[in-house]
Structure 1
Amino acid sequence: MSVARRPLPRVPRLLLVTGMSGAGKSTVLDALEDMGWDTVDNLPTSLLHDFVHGADRPRSNAHVAVGMDARSRGFDPAALPALLRSIPGVRPEILYLDATGAELIRRYGETRRRHPLSPDRPAEDGIGRERDLTAALRLAADAVLDTTDLKPADLRDHLRQRYGDEGDDLVVTITSFGFARGISRTSDLVFDLRFLPNPHWIEELRPLTGADAPVSEYVAAQDGWDDFMDRTEEMLAMLLPRYWEAGKTYVGIGFGCTGGRHRSVAAAIAMAERLRNRGFSPNIRHRDLGLRPNDSLEQGQERNQGPRDQ
């Protein structure tokens, strides 16, 4: 079964980029501008309609991205979704940027900037206030992007996949990752490969990865692999067209193992091939593939998961 791709009308997109201060709004707007979008940051809400449809916009069919947060004049998180929907002739969307509190504190410490909601208090006070203030926008968002683990280059790549104007097909990205290094924050669907024996504990396989034939063959020979892959493939083949029909244009699929170098990589590569055979065009991202093997990380994680075959 291949996905039924029905091209959407070429309606300009109106993207509200919002969320937590320090989560990467400026980077996102810069990336969108490089992709040909018309962008503006900290636009007063009263000027939104004029910016989208004003006579000074040189390209009436260009996508528009507007950055708004607690610093923007008239910022009302509860009212913004309705305001976006009231703008005619565009397809409104909300991108909410987030990161863990610890990461936001670290970023503010590095830049030595003051949080806009706590100029005379510690950054964590402002972060807490802002999280409460923008909770309604997070719930209304079409996409929530956690940038905690994303390097600027990875963030830009993610944005190109989601907002690049290369067509109107469903964009599917398969990510391999290691649970010991944190769950994939860009995946909508996550599958756990830790039910399989860990190749890390086999001496000759440890320095290799799931992209190497000895590892992928070892993993594929394990009891439960075929059943897992067959059932997962069937489920994805059923879900992906329905996501598209419901208006979702981007789906992230995550495969996780302990360290993110063996089982999850093999599964991501194998599933991408299966989905290609069904008419999809998935992207692949291996988040932790370049990291070195770590015995203590693997052992500590698996101890928490119970006995493992080694």
Structure 2
Amino acid sequence: MDFIIVTGLSGAGKSRAVHAMEDIGFYCMDNIPPKLIPAVYDLCMQAKDSLSRVAVVTDIRGGGMFSSLFETLEGLRVEHKTYKILFLDAGDTVLINRFKETRRKHPLSEDTTSLEQAVKLEREILRPVRERADYIIDTSLLSPAQLKERISSLFLGDATSALQIHCMSFGFKFGTPTEADLIFDVRCLPNPYYVEELRHKTGLDAPVRDYVLKWEQTKGFVSRFLDLIDYMIPLYCNEGKSQLVIAIGCTGGHHRSVTIAQLLYEHLLEKGLRASVNHRDIRKG
């Protein structure tokens, strides 16, 4: 049974994530107190022929009951009940703006004097959970469609199987992705932006890809880059890591980073690894 515990910051997109999981076949339950999770696990195991994929949401809405989460997780581990943790995150400013736009009340608003303090307090409370998470998705710059794509790439396969590697291109001018395990800066490579006929294309277009890859410095980078990734992946697998996010950045996230991220994705697929790719900023001006 795939049993996913979904948690994270209020306003980070847990509801949308759960809707996406429902769309790919998960049976989902929202706002479960941590102490009830083992009972839910046992019930689902009894019906695992029909409930082979389950996701439960537990978060700060449970108030004081949420503090028992670590005790619950340890109990599941001792009883050899396998699970994964999906943590939804977003930047403080993004979270604050989302609450202001929807006029929703933050779960910790009664314990603090401002929305900003509530967000910071929740982040501090959840920090140990984030550190233990198997999967982290930062939704700050993700559209609903991109979030659904990320969820699908993570869980369409067996969530208990080997390392899932997510390749991401991004533009440094839009901010670095906080969920990245490895970040590579390819702003040192020749830039198609300065070629008039390539400026409005992207790294998914053959002329841009050919331009980026034709240079000796790019060939040298790609050779060493892929060797490094090939060396590191077994080390992450030996550590039992479930998700590896490799982010490649250039200035705007349109040309060089897209080319290299797509190249890495295709390389990983050729090696038979579970991989996905997302070009975060490719549609931004």
- Determine if the TM-score, normalized by the shorter chain, exceeds 0.5: yes
Compared with structure 1, are the counterparts of its residues 35 and 278 closer, same or farther at alpha carbon in structure 2 (3 Å cutoff)? closer
2:267 corresponds to which residue?
A: 274
List gaps (5 residues or longer) in structure 1.
Answer: 1-11, 293-310
Compared with structure 1, are the counterparts of its residues 132 and 278 closer, same or farther at alpha carbon in structure 2 (3 Å cutoff)? closer
TM-score by length of 1: 0.81
Task: Work out which of the residue numbers 97, 105, 108 in structure 1 matches 2:99.
Answer: 108
Task: Work out which of the residue numbers 132, 135, 144 in structure 1 matches 2:127.
Answer: 135
- Residue 158 of structure 1 pairs with residue 150 of structure 2: yes
- Residue 239 of structure 1 pairs with residue 232 of structure 2: yes
CA contact (8 A) 1:233 1:275 kept: no
**How far does residue 121 in structure 1 lie from its aligned partner after superposition?**
4.1
Aligned length: 280
Task: Work out which of the residue numbers 109, 123, 137 in structure 1 matches 2:115.
Answer: 123
Task: Provide the C-alpha distance between the structure 2 equivalents of 1:103 and 1:59, rounded to a whole number of angstroms.
Answer: 38
Give the root-mean-square deviation of aligned CA atoms.
2.5
CA contact (8 A) 1:13 1:90 kept: no
1:68 corresponds to which residue?
A: 58
- Residue 253 of structure 1 pairs with residue 242 of structure 2: no
1:26 corresponds to which residue?
A: 15
Task: Work out which of the residue numbers 33, 36, 42 in structure 1 matches 2:25.
Answer: 36
Letter of the structure 2 residue corresponding to residue 157 of structure 1 = E
**How far does residue 54 in structure 1 lie from its aligned partner after superposition?**
2.6
Match runs of 1:180-195 below 5 Å:
180-195=173-188
CA contact (8 A) 1:172 1:251 kept: yes
Which deviates more, 98-107 or 164-173?
A: 164-173
Which deviates more, 196-205 or 274-283?
A: 274-283
Letter of the structure 2 residue corresponding to residue 97 of structure 1 = L
Task: Provide the C-alpha distance between the structure 2 equivalents of 1:56 and 1:14, rounded to a whole number of angstroms.
Answer: 10
2:202 corresponds to which residue?
A: 209
CA contact (8 A) 1:51 1:57 kept: no
Between the aligned residues of both structures, percent identity stands at: 37
Compared with structure 1, are the counterparts of its residues 274 and 136 closer, same or farther at alpha carbon in structure 2 (3 Å cutoff)? closer
Which deviates more, 129-138 or 60-69?
A: 60-69
Greater gyration radius: 1
Task: Provide the C-alpha distance between the structure 1 equivalents of 2:9 and 2:140, rounded to a whole number of angstroms.
Answer: 12
Letter of the structure 2 residue corresponding to residue 39 of structure 1 = C
TM-score by length of 2: 0.87
Task: Work out which of the residue numbers 151, 168, 179 in structure 1 matches 2:172.
Answer: 179
1:174-209 deviations in Å (ceiling 9; x for gaps): 222111112234432221110123221222221222
Higher helix proportion (structure 1 or 2): 2
Compared with structure 1, are the counterparts of its residues 209 and 55 closer, same or farther at alpha carbon in structure 2 (3 Å cutoff)? closer
1:99 corresponds to which residue?
A: 90
CA contact (8 A) 2:213 2:219 kept: yes
Partner of 1:79: helix, strand, or coil?
helix
List gaps (5 residues or longer) in structure 2.
Answer: none
**How far does residue 216 in structure 1 lie from its aligned partner after superposition?**
2.1
Which deviates more, 106-115 or 173-182?
A: 173-182
